[in-house]
Amino acid sequence: MSPLPVLFLYIFTVCVSAACPSQHYDSSGACCSQCPPGEGVTTPCSDGNGTGCTACVPGQTFSNSRSHTEQCLDCTGCGANMKVVSPCNRTHDTVCECSADFYWDEETSRCERCQICPPGFGAVEACSPRQDSGCVACPNMTYSDVDSPSAQCVACTLCTDSQVMLQTCTSISDTICLDKNMPQLIGANVGRTTPADGLLTLKDASGQNIIPVYCSIMGAVVVGLIVYVAVKRWKTCQKPQGTKSGPQGTDVEAQKNQNNDSGVCVDPCTTPSGGKTRVSELSSSRLRDLVFTLSLQHPVNWRHLASELGYDIAAIDEFEQGNNNGPGAAKAFLVHWSRMENATVDNLCQALRAIGRQDVIGLLQECNMGRHLV
Ligand SMILES: *[C@@H]1O[C@H](CO)[C@@H](O)[C@H](O)[C@H]1NC(C)=O
Ligand SMILES: *[C@@H]1O[C@H](CO)[C@@H](O)[C@H](O)[C@H]1NC(C)=O
Ligand SMILES: *[C@@H]1O[C@H](CO)[C@@H](O)[C@H](O)[C@H]1NC(C)=O
Protein backbone atom coordinates (compact mmCIF):
# COMPACT_ATOMS: atom_id res chain seq x y z
CA MET A 1 0.00 0.00 0.00
CA SER A 2 1.23 3.44 -0.82
CA PRO A 3 1.18 6.09 1.88
CA LEU A 4 -1.50 8.18 0.30
CA PRO A 5 -4.45 5.77 0.49
CA VAL A 6 -3.45 4.94 4.06
CA LEU A 7 -3.54 8.63 5.00
CA PHE A 8 -6.95 9.07 3.41
CA LEU A 9 -8.25 6.03 5.22
CA TYR A 10 -6.99 7.41 8.50
CA ILE A 11 -8.53 10.86 7.97
CA PHE A 12 -11.81 9.26 6.94
CA THR A 13 -11.84 7.10 10.06
CA VAL A 14 -11.07 10.05 12.35
CA CYS A 15 -13.76 12.18 10.81
CA VAL A 16 -16.35 9.43 11.03
CA SER A 17 -15.45 8.77 14.69
CA ALA A 18 -15.77 12.43 15.53
CA ALA A 19 -19.12 12.65 13.84
CA CYS A 20 -20.48 9.44 15.40
CA PRO A 21 -18.75 8.39 18.66
CA SER A 22 -20.63 5.11 18.87
CA GLN A 23 -19.68 4.32 15.29
CA HIS A 24 -23.00 2.62 14.97
CA TYR A 25 -25.84 3.50 12.72
CA ASP A 26 -29.41 2.39 12.76
CA SER A 27 -31.40 1.01 9.89
CA SER A 28 -32.16 4.53 8.66
CA GLY A 29 -28.41 5.28 8.58
CA ALA A 30 -28.54 7.67 11.55
CA CYS A 31 -25.70 7.58 14.10
CA CYS A 32 -26.68 5.86 17.34
CA SER A 33 -26.27 8.19 20.33
CA GLN A 34 -24.59 6.98 23.56
CA CYS A 35 -25.84 6.93 27.11
CA PRO A 36 -23.40 8.66 29.51
CA PRO A 37 -22.03 7.00 32.70
CA GLY A 38 -24.79 6.83 35.26
CA GLU A 39 -27.40 6.10 32.62
CA GLY A 40 -28.25 2.81 30.96
CA VAL A 41 -29.75 1.98 27.56
CA THR A 42 -33.46 1.23 27.70
CA THR A 43 -34.27 1.28 23.99
CA PRO A 44 -31.72 0.61 21.28
CA CYS A 45 -31.49 3.16 18.51
CA SER A 46 -33.79 2.61 15.53
CA ASP A 47 -35.62 4.56 12.85
CA GLY A 48 -33.43 7.60 13.54
CA ASN A 49 -34.95 7.98 17.02
CA GLY A 50 -31.55 7.67 18.78
CA THR A 51 -30.73 5.56 21.84
CA GLY A 52 -33.15 5.61 24.77
CA CYS A 53 -31.35 6.19 28.11
CA THR A 54 -32.54 6.05 31.75
CA ALA A 55 -30.65 7.09 34.92
CA CYS A 56 -29.44 4.16 37.02
CA VAL A 57 -30.95 3.72 40.52
CA PRO A 58 -28.47 4.91 43.19
CA GLY A 59 -27.41 2.04 45.46
CA GLN A 60 -29.00 -0.57 43.20
CA THR A 61 -27.71 -0.19 39.67
CA PHE A 62 -24.82 1.62 38.02
CA SER A 63 -23.23 2.27 34.67
CA ASN A 64 -19.60 3.34 34.46
CA SER A 65 -19.30 3.66 30.67
CA ARG A 66 -20.52 5.75 27.77
CA SER A 67 -22.36 3.32 25.52
CA HIS A 68 -25.21 2.83 23.05
CA THR A 69 -25.83 -0.78 24.16
CA GLU A 70 -24.99 -1.14 27.84
CA GLN A 71 -27.78 -1.22 30.37
CA CYS A 72 -27.49 -0.29 34.06
CA LEU A 73 -25.81 -3.15 35.94
CA ASP A 74 -26.71 -4.44 39.39
CA CYS A 75 -24.49 -3.24 42.23
CA THR A 76 -22.22 -5.92 43.69
CA GLY A 77 -22.72 -6.92 47.31
CA CYS A 78 -19.70 -7.46 49.54
CA GLY A 79 -19.06 -11.11 50.36
CA ALA A 80 -18.40 -12.88 53.62
CA ASN A 81 -15.74 -11.32 55.86
CA MET A 82 -15.73 -8.20 53.72
CA LYS A 83 -16.54 -4.61 54.37
CA VAL A 84 -17.68 -1.77 52.08
CA VAL A 85 -14.91 0.67 51.24
CA SER A 86 -17.13 2.87 49.06
CA PRO A 87 -20.80 2.28 48.42
CA CYS A 88 -22.34 1.78 45.01
CA ASN A 89 -23.50 4.96 43.26
CA ARG A 90 -24.86 5.61 39.78
CA THR A 91 -21.40 5.69 38.18
CA HIS A 92 -19.38 3.30 40.35
CA ASP A 93 -19.93 -0.21 41.63
CA THR A 94 -19.48 -1.03 45.30
CA VAL A 95 -15.84 -1.30 46.38
CA CYS A 96 -15.22 -4.01 48.99
CA GLU A 97 -12.22 -5.25 50.90
CA CYS A 98 -11.55 -7.89 53.52
CA SER A 99 -12.50 -7.06 57.09
CA ALA A 100 -9.94 -6.70 59.88
CA ASP A 101 -7.93 -9.91 60.52
CA PHE A 102 -8.78 -11.22 56.99
CA TYR A 103 -6.85 -11.05 53.72
CA TRP A 104 -7.80 -11.67 50.09
CA ASP A 105 -6.65 -15.08 48.98
CA GLU A 106 -6.23 -15.23 45.19
CA GLU A 107 -6.35 -19.04 45.17
CA THR A 108 -9.66 -19.39 46.95
CA SER A 109 -11.02 -15.99 45.82
CA ARG A 110 -12.25 -15.39 49.31
CA CYS A 111 -11.32 -13.42 52.35
CA GLU A 112 -9.35 -15.82 54.55
CA ARG A 113 -8.47 -15.31 58.15
CA CYS A 114 -4.90 -14.07 58.69
CA GLN A 115 -2.55 -16.31 60.62
CA ILE A 116 -2.50 -15.61 64.35
CA CYS A 117 1.14 -15.61 65.37
CA PRO A 118 1.51 -17.28 68.78
CA PRO A 119 3.93 -16.06 71.46
CA GLY A 120 7.46 -16.58 70.22
CA PHE A 121 6.39 -15.75 66.66
CA GLY A 122 5.94 -12.39 65.00
CA ALA A 123 4.08 -11.28 61.90
CA VAL A 124 6.37 -10.65 58.90
CA GLU A 125 3.80 -8.20 57.63
CA ALA A 126 0.90 -6.92 59.66
CA CYS A 127 -2.26 -8.62 58.50
CA SER A 128 -3.94 -6.41 55.90
CA PRO A 129 -6.84 -6.85 53.45
CA ARG A 130 -4.36 -7.69 50.74
CA GLN A 131 -1.73 -9.58 52.74
CA ASP A 132 -1.55 -12.42 55.22
CA SER A 133 0.57 -11.86 58.30
CA GLY A 134 3.02 -14.72 57.75
CA CYS A 135 4.45 -15.77 61.09
CA VAL A 136 8.17 -16.25 61.74
CA ALA A 137 9.92 -17.36 64.89
CA CYS A 138 11.31 -14.35 66.76
CA PRO A 139 15.05 -14.04 66.01
CA ASN A 140 17.63 -13.78 68.80
CA MET A 141 17.19 -10.80 71.11
CA THR A 142 13.61 -10.24 70.06
CA TYR A 143 10.42 -11.59 71.57
CA SER A 144 6.65 -11.69 71.21
CA ASP A 145 4.41 -12.42 74.20
CA VAL A 146 1.02 -12.16 72.46
CA ASP A 147 -1.29 -14.05 70.13
CA SER A 148 -1.66 -11.59 67.29
CA PRO A 149 -2.14 -11.46 63.50
CA SER A 150 -0.15 -8.20 63.33
CA ALA A 151 2.32 -7.86 66.19
CA GLN A 152 5.91 -8.21 65.13
CA CYS A 153 8.74 -9.45 67.31
CA VAL A 154 9.96 -6.68 69.61
CA ALA A 155 13.59 -6.02 70.49
CA CYS A 156 14.45 -7.23 73.99
CA THR A 157 15.08 -4.68 76.73
CA LEU A 158 18.74 -4.36 77.58
CA CYS A 159 19.60 -3.72 81.20
CA THR A 160 21.70 -0.62 81.80
CA ASP A 161 24.89 -0.43 83.86
CA SER A 162 22.88 0.61 86.89
CA GLN A 163 20.59 -2.42 86.63
CA VAL A 164 20.84 -6.09 87.39
CA MET A 165 19.31 -8.60 84.98
CA LEU A 166 16.88 -10.83 86.81
CA GLN A 167 15.75 -12.80 83.81
CA THR A 168 17.18 -13.09 80.32
CA CYS A 169 15.03 -12.34 77.33
CA THR A 170 13.36 -15.37 75.76
CA SER A 171 11.41 -15.54 72.52
CA ILE A 172 8.20 -15.24 74.54
CA SER A 173 9.20 -12.83 77.32
CA ASP A 174 11.18 -9.66 77.70
CA THR A 175 14.26 -9.20 79.85
CA ILE A 176 13.56 -8.33 83.48
CA CYS A 177 15.94 -5.74 84.89
CA LEU A 178 16.19 -4.59 88.49
CA ASP A 179 17.51 -1.16 89.37
CA LYS A 180 20.49 -1.59 91.66
CA ASN A 181 19.64 1.46 93.76
CA MET A 182 15.87 1.40 93.70
CA PRO A 183 14.36 -2.06 93.89
CA GLN A 184 11.79 -1.66 91.14
CA LEU A 185 11.19 -3.42 87.87
CA ILE A 186 12.18 -1.73 84.64
CA GLY A 187 10.20 -2.78 81.60
CA ALA A 188 11.00 -0.07 79.07
CA ASN A 189 13.55 -0.21 76.32
CA VAL A 190 16.20 1.87 78.00
CA GLY A 191 19.24 -0.16 77.12
CA ARG A 192 22.61 1.24 76.15
CA THR A 193 24.60 -1.81 77.10
CA THR A 194 25.22 -4.73 74.80
CA PRO A 195 23.64 -8.13 75.33
CA ALA A 196 27.06 -9.41 76.46
CA ASP A 197 27.11 -6.82 79.24
CA GLY A 198 23.65 -7.84 80.28
CA LEU A 199 24.61 -11.51 80.51
CA LEU A 200 27.69 -10.57 82.51
CA THR A 201 25.50 -8.65 84.93
CA LEU A 202 23.31 -11.68 85.34
CA LYS A 203 26.29 -13.79 86.34
CA ASP A 204 27.46 -11.09 88.74
CA ALA A 205 24.10 -11.12 90.39
CA SER A 206 24.50 -14.90 90.77
CA GLY A 207 20.89 -15.93 90.50
CA GLN A 208 17.95 -15.18 88.29
CA ASN A 209 15.23 -14.79 90.84
CA ILE A 210 16.26 -12.21 93.38
CA ILE A 211 12.79 -10.68 93.68
CA PRO A 212 11.04 -13.64 95.39
CA VAL A 213 13.99 -14.05 97.76
CA TYR A 214 14.02 -10.35 98.53
CA CYS A 215 10.28 -10.27 99.15
CA SER A 216 10.40 -13.37 101.37
CA ILE A 217 13.11 -11.87 103.56
CA MET A 218 11.25 -8.56 103.88
CA GLY A 219 8.03 -10.41 104.67
CA ALA A 220 9.71 -12.59 107.29
CA VAL A 221 11.26 -9.55 108.97
CA VAL A 222 7.96 -7.67 109.09
CA VAL A 223 5.99 -10.69 110.37
CA GLY A 224 8.69 -11.34 112.96
CA LEU A 225 8.51 -7.78 114.23
CA ILE A 226 4.73 -7.87 114.48
CA VAL A 227 4.76 -11.18 116.35
CA TYR A 228 7.49 -9.92 118.70
CA VAL A 229 5.60 -6.75 119.56
CA ALA A 230 2.30 -8.62 119.95
CA VAL A 231 3.78 -11.27 122.25
CA LYS A 232 5.60 -8.62 124.30
CA ARG A 233 2.43 -6.60 124.79
CA TRP A 234 0.28 -9.64 125.50
CA LYS A 235 2.70 -10.96 128.12
CA THR A 236 2.91 -7.57 129.77
CA CYS A 237 -0.83 -7.23 130.06
CA GLN A 238 -1.43 -10.84 131.11
CA LYS A 239 1.01 -10.89 134.05
CA PRO A 240 -1.18 -11.48 137.04
CA GLN A 241 -1.13 -8.40 139.25
CA GLY A 242 -3.14 -9.26 142.28
CA THR A 243 -2.23 -12.93 142.94
CA LYS A 244 -1.46 -12.37 146.59
CA SER A 245 -4.07 -9.70 147.12
CA GLY A 246 -7.17 -10.30 149.14
CA PRO A 247 -9.71 -7.71 150.02
CA GLN A 248 -7.16 -6.05 152.30
CA GLY A 249 -4.41 -6.21 149.69
CA THR A 250 -6.29 -4.08 147.23
CA ASP A 251 -5.35 -0.78 148.75
CA VAL A 252 -1.72 -1.70 148.81
CA GLU A 253 -1.83 -2.80 145.19
CA ALA A 254 -3.62 0.32 144.07
CA GLN A 255 -1.06 2.40 145.90
CA LYS A 256 1.70 0.49 144.18
CA ASN A 257 0.15 1.09 140.79
CA GLN A 258 0.14 4.81 141.36
CA ASN A 259 3.82 5.03 142.00
CA ASN A 260 5.85 2.24 140.48
CA ASP A 261 6.67 1.91 136.80
CA SER A 262 6.40 -1.82 136.54
CA GLY A 263 4.55 -1.86 133.21
CA VAL A 264 1.87 -4.15 134.66
CA CYS A 265 -1.79 -3.71 133.74
CA VAL A 266 -4.96 -4.39 135.63
CA ASP A 267 -8.37 -4.03 134.08
CA PRO A 268 -10.42 -2.69 136.94
CA CYS A 269 -13.68 -3.74 135.37
CA THR A 270 -12.78 -7.41 134.99
CA THR A 271 -10.41 -8.00 137.90
CA PRO A 272 -12.48 -9.19 140.84
CA SER A 273 -10.50 -7.17 143.34
CA GLY A 274 -10.30 -4.12 141.06
CA GLY A 275 -14.05 -3.69 140.78
CA LYS A 276 -14.49 -2.68 144.38
CA THR A 277 -11.68 -0.16 144.19
CA ARG A 278 -12.99 3.32 144.84
CA VAL A 279 -12.63 5.77 141.99
CA SER A 280 -10.85 8.15 144.35
CA GLU A 281 -8.12 5.57 144.71
CA LEU A 282 -7.28 5.55 141.02
CA SER A 283 -3.96 7.11 140.12
CA SER A 284 -3.99 10.80 139.32
CA SER A 285 -2.93 10.13 135.75
CA ARG A 286 -5.90 7.76 135.28
CA LEU A 287 -8.29 10.35 136.64
CA ARG A 288 -6.73 13.04 134.46
CA ASP A 289 -7.16 10.85 131.35
CA LEU A 290 -10.72 10.10 132.36
CA VAL A 291 -11.63 13.77 132.80
CA PHE A 292 -9.90 14.75 129.62
CA THR A 293 -11.55 12.05 127.52
CA LEU A 294 -15.02 12.66 128.92
CA SER A 295 -14.78 16.38 128.15
CA LEU A 296 -13.67 15.86 124.56
CA GLN A 297 -15.96 16.67 121.69
CA HIS A 298 -18.03 13.49 121.54
CA PRO A 299 -21.76 12.83 121.20
CA VAL A 300 -21.63 11.05 124.57
CA ASN A 301 -19.62 12.95 127.18
CA TRP A 302 -19.39 13.43 130.95
CA ARG A 303 -22.90 14.92 131.08
CA HIS A 304 -24.34 11.61 129.92
CA LEU A 305 -22.21 9.76 132.44
CA ALA A 306 -23.37 12.07 135.23
CA SER A 307 -26.97 11.53 134.19
CA GLU A 308 -26.41 7.76 134.15
CA LEU A 309 -24.97 7.99 137.66
CA GLY A 310 -28.11 9.71 138.91
CA TYR A 311 -27.45 13.45 138.61
CA ASP A 312 -30.33 15.57 137.32
CA ILE A 313 -30.01 18.28 134.70
CA ALA A 314 -29.89 21.06 137.25
CA ALA A 315 -27.01 19.47 139.08
CA ILE A 316 -25.12 18.84 135.84
CA ASP A 317 -25.64 22.45 134.76
CA GLU A 318 -24.25 23.55 138.08
CA PHE A 319 -20.95 21.73 137.45
CA GLU A 320 -20.78 23.50 134.15
CA GLN A 321 -21.55 26.99 135.46
CA GLY A 322 -18.97 26.87 138.18
CA ASN A 323 -16.26 25.65 135.89
CA ASN A 324 -17.04 27.14 132.51
CA ASN A 325 -17.16 24.36 129.99
CA GLY A 326 -14.75 21.54 129.20
CA PRO A 327 -12.36 19.65 131.48
CA GLY A 328 -13.13 21.81 134.48
CA ALA A 329 -16.80 20.81 134.52
CA ALA A 330 -16.01 17.14 133.99
CA LYS A 331 -13.45 17.22 136.76
CA ALA A 332 -15.83 18.96 139.16
CA PHE A 333 -18.43 16.31 138.48
CA LEU A 334 -15.98 13.43 138.94
CA VAL A 335 -14.59 14.84 142.16
CA HIS A 336 -18.14 15.27 143.43
CA TRP A 337 -19.21 11.76 142.52
CA SER A 338 -16.00 10.09 143.77
CA ARG A 339 -17.02 11.13 147.30
CA MET A 340 -20.25 9.17 147.03
CA GLU A 341 -20.60 5.85 148.79
CA ASN A 342 -21.19 3.93 145.57
CA ALA A 343 -18.26 5.56 143.72
CA THR A 344 -16.49 2.31 142.93
CA VAL A 345 -14.65 1.55 139.71
CA ASP A 346 -17.13 -1.26 139.22
CA ASN A 347 -20.07 1.14 139.13
CA LEU A 348 -18.17 3.56 136.94
CA CYS A 349 -17.49 0.78 134.45
CA GLN A 350 -21.15 -0.22 134.48
CA ALA A 351 -22.27 3.34 133.81
CA LEU A 352 -19.72 3.76 131.02
CA ARG A 353 -20.97 0.58 129.43
CA ALA A 354 -24.55 1.75 129.76
CA ILE A 355 -23.82 4.95 127.83
CA GLY A 356 -21.74 3.11 125.25
CA ARG A 357 -18.33 4.49 126.13
CA GLN A 358 -16.42 1.22 126.43
CA ASP A 359 -13.47 3.09 124.99
CA VAL A 360 -13.14 5.04 128.22
CA ILE A 361 -13.06 1.84 130.27
CA GLY A 362 -9.75 1.04 128.61
CA LEU A 363 -8.32 4.20 130.17
CA LEU A 364 -9.03 2.85 133.64
CA GLN A 365 -6.43 0.12 133.16
CA GLU A 366 -3.57 0.62 135.53
CA CYS A 367 -0.58 -0.06 133.39
CA ASN A 368 1.94 2.64 134.19
CA MET A 369 3.23 2.26 130.69
CA GLY A 370 3.04 5.89 129.77
CA ARG A 371 -0.40 5.56 128.20
CA HIS A 372 -1.34 9.13 128.90
CA LEU A 373 -3.44 11.26 126.68
CA VAL A 374 -2.02 14.55 127.92
C1 LIG B 1 -39.46 6.56 16.50
O2 LIG B 1 -40.13 7.80 16.51
C3 LIG B 1 -41.36 7.87 15.79
C4 LIG B 1 -41.90 9.29 15.80
O5 LIG B 1 -40.87 10.20 15.94
C6 LIG B 1 -42.31 6.86 16.44
O7 LIG B 1 -43.49 6.84 15.73
C8 LIG B 1 -41.69 5.49 16.50
O9 LIG B 1 -42.53 4.58 17.16
C10 LIG B 1 -40.34 5.52 17.14
N11 LIG B 1 -39.72 4.21 17.08
C12 LIG B 1 -39.28 3.60 18.18
C13 LIG B 1 -38.68 2.25 17.92
O14 LIG B 1 -39.37 4.09 19.28
C1 LIG C 1 -19.30 7.47 43.25
O2 LIG C 1 -18.31 6.73 43.92
C3 LIG C 1 -16.97 7.02 43.50
C4 LIG C 1 -16.05 6.11 44.27
O5 LIG C 1 -16.46 4.79 44.13
C6 LIG C 1 -16.66 8.47 43.73
O7 LIG C 1 -15.36 8.78 43.30
C8 LIG C 1 -17.67 9.34 43.02
O9 LIG C 1 -17.43 10.68 43.34
C10 LIG C 1 -19.07 8.97 43.41
N11 LIG C 1 -20.02 9.73 42.63
C12 LIG C 1 -21.07 10.29 43.18
C13 LIG C 1 -21.99 11.04 42.27
O14 LIG C 1 -21.30 10.21 44.39
C1 LIG D 1 20.78 -17.30 68.01
O2 LIG D 1 21.13 -18.06 69.13
C3 LIG D 1 21.43 -19.43 68.85
C4 LIG D 1 21.68 -20.14 70.16
O5 LIG D 1 21.80 -19.27 71.20
C6 LIG D 1 22.60 -19.53 67.91
O7 LIG D 1 22.84 -20.89 67.59
C8 LIG D 1 22.29 -18.73 66.67
O9 LIG D 1 23.42 -18.72 65.81
C10 LIG D 1 21.90 -17.31 66.99
N11 LIG D 1 21.48 -16.63 65.79
C12 LIG D 1 21.84 -15.38 65.51
C13 LIG D 1 21.31 -14.84 64.25
O14 LIG D 1 22.55 -14.75 66.25
pLDDT of residue 200: 37
Indicate the top mutation candidate among 62, 88, 92 to test ligand 2's pocket, ranked by most ligand atoms within 8 A of CB. Answer: 92
Candidate from 5-9, 48-52, 140-144, 254-258 with smallest mean pLDDT? 254-258
Ligand 2 centroid distance, CA of 95 (Å): 11
| Residues 274-295: tens digit of each pLDDT | 567 888 888 777 777 888 788 8
Nearest alpha carbon, ligand 2 atom 2: 92
pLDDT of residue 293: 81
CA angle 110, 112, 117 (to 5 degrees): 165
- Write down the pTM of the prediction: 0.42
Contact 53, 61 (CB under 8 A): no
Is 89 a pocket residue for ligand 2 (Cβ < 6 Å)?
yes
Phi and psi, residue 89, nearest 5°: -125, -175
Count Cα neighbours of 108 within 13 Å in the Cβ-side half-sphere. 10
pLDDT at 24 over 70: yes
For range 352-368, the mean pLDDT:
76
Is 140 a pocket residue for ligand 3 (Cβ < 6 Å)?
yes
| Cα–Cα distance, 27 to 44 (Å, whole number) | 11
For range 88-94, the mean pLDDT:
96
